[in-house]
Amino acid sequence: MHSPTIVPGEEMVTVRWLAPYSGDTPTTGFVVTVVQPEKTVTVGASARSVTITGLTDMQSYTIAVQANSDIGLGPKVSQTVIPRAHGQRIIATGSWDDTCSDLVTVSSAGVVALHRGNCRGGFTGSTAIIGRNLQDERILLPHYGPVPQNEIRTFWSVNYDGTFREHLATGVHQWNLNYEYALSRGWTRMSKVFSSDDWSGDGEPDVMGVKDTGELYYYRHTNQDTLAAGVRLGSGWGGYRQLLGAGDQNGDHHPDILGLRTDGTIWLFPGNGHGGFAHRGYKIGSGFSNALTILSTDWNDDGAADLLTVDRRGYLRWYAGNARAQFTSRGVVGGGWGGYL
């Protein structure tokens, strides 16, 4: 069996493999087994993948795959995985072509799309397909500054296999994802991962993550394009539906964190500019109980960070910011965005 991979998903696991080498014993089929509870799927020699559904999220499963031939079953390749729901797969990326902020999405089928903003609270042109086969990316997050190279745009993701990845697109106006690589490993137990702007004050974009235990960790992004070891910033963050870096919201010239709680309130956590919090967080808004997620971006190009939310009916809504942690509703931007959450 050639290069098998075993990747969990939401209530499922997908096993993939490449065609056998030409010199191998002729394969008659493949057998995929789920241990606890026992479940076996047998497919023919031409198959290159098997998806097993009906699993329970957050429960550990051992998956094994073997090639079959006229002389019997080959060596078993096994891996223990944990199916879980995917996180947010819609991000505000800043400008890709002009000064207007854009959005990037990944669908359940793995299609990557660029939605170009028009600097006036809406979109311009048609949606551009810039990549495919990213269905195994569990969480998307933007790669904020420094200013990228002229013909390269990037974003980050957390894959279901636990790797933290960088994706690069090239092309200018006709962008195509054509390269990705792993920056870090061991992100399987993260419930939320988000960009925190330059949290350390060293000029590099940093990352934060909330573990399944509710602990918040900060990961400094180095100028060697790696992530330093995580630093624990506290516990009790499990009650937030979404967390995100929101730039400077209180006028102290340091990046801040916004959190959307499950009760529909929004909280501001001021950064101190060198890897920590300036003081305790405080509530800055309420009435967002229908919002399933929030994004932060300068949606109308006025120099102040705005909020975009996606509600339970899939509507994308715009709230204009004033750079003082105050936001005013500007209505619905469009519908059909619920599939990216």
The CATH H-level (homologous superfamily) assignment of domain 5-81 is Immunoglobulins (2.60.40.10)
Q: How large is the average pLDDT for residues 23-49?
A: 88
C-alpha–C-alpha distance, residues 332 and 66, integer Å: 51
pLDDT at 225: 85
Pair type for strands 282-285 and 266-270: antiparallel
For tokens 């979109």, the residue is 123
Domain segments of the chain as ranges: 5-81, 90-335
pLDDT at 146: 58
Which amino acid type is present at position 109?
A
Say if residue 335's pLDDT is above 80. Answer: yes
Q: What is the pLDDT of residues 100-139, one digit of tens each?
A: 999 999 998 999 999 999 999 999 999 999 999 999 999 9
**Angle at CA of residue 57, ends 55 and 61, nearest 5°:** 60
Say if residue 149's pLDDT is above 70. Answer: no
Q: How large is the average pLDDT for residues 46-57?
A: 93
pLDDT at 25: 79
In this prediction, residue 230 has a pLDDT band, given cuts at 50, 70 and 90, of very high
pLDDT at 1: 61
Question: For residue 254, what is the DSSP state?
Answer: S
Coil, helix or strand at residue 338: helix
Which amino acid type is present at position 224?
Q
C-alpha–C-alpha distance, residues 85 and 95, integer Å: 29
Output 225 or 33, whichever has higher pLDDT. 33
Whole-structure pTM value: 0.89
Rounded to a whole number of angstroms, the distance between the first and last alpha carbons of the chain is 35
Coil, helix or strand at residue 333: strand
C-alpha–C-alpha distance, residues 106 and 139, integer Å: 9
pLDDT at 187: 96
Annotation: CATH topology of 90-335: Neuraminidase (2.120.10)
205 prior amide bond cis, ω within 30: no
Same fold for the pair 5-81 and 90-335: no
pLDDT at 148: 55
pLDDT at 256: 96
Question: How many CB atoms within 10 Å of residue 278?
Answer: 13
Q: How large is the average pLDDT for residues 134-151?
A: 81
Q: How high is the mean pLDDT of the chain?
A: 92
Say if residue 23's pLDDT is above 90. Answer: no
Q: What is the pLDDT of residues 181-212, one digit of tens each?
A: 999 999 999 999 999 999 999 999 999 999 99
Give the CA count within 13 Å in the CB-facing half-sphere of 317: 19
Of 1-5, 74-78, 114-118, 200-204, give the range with the top mean pLDDT. 114-118
Say if residue 145's pLDDT is above 70. Answer: no
In this prediction, residue 151 has a pLDDT band, given cuts at 50, 70 and 90, of confident
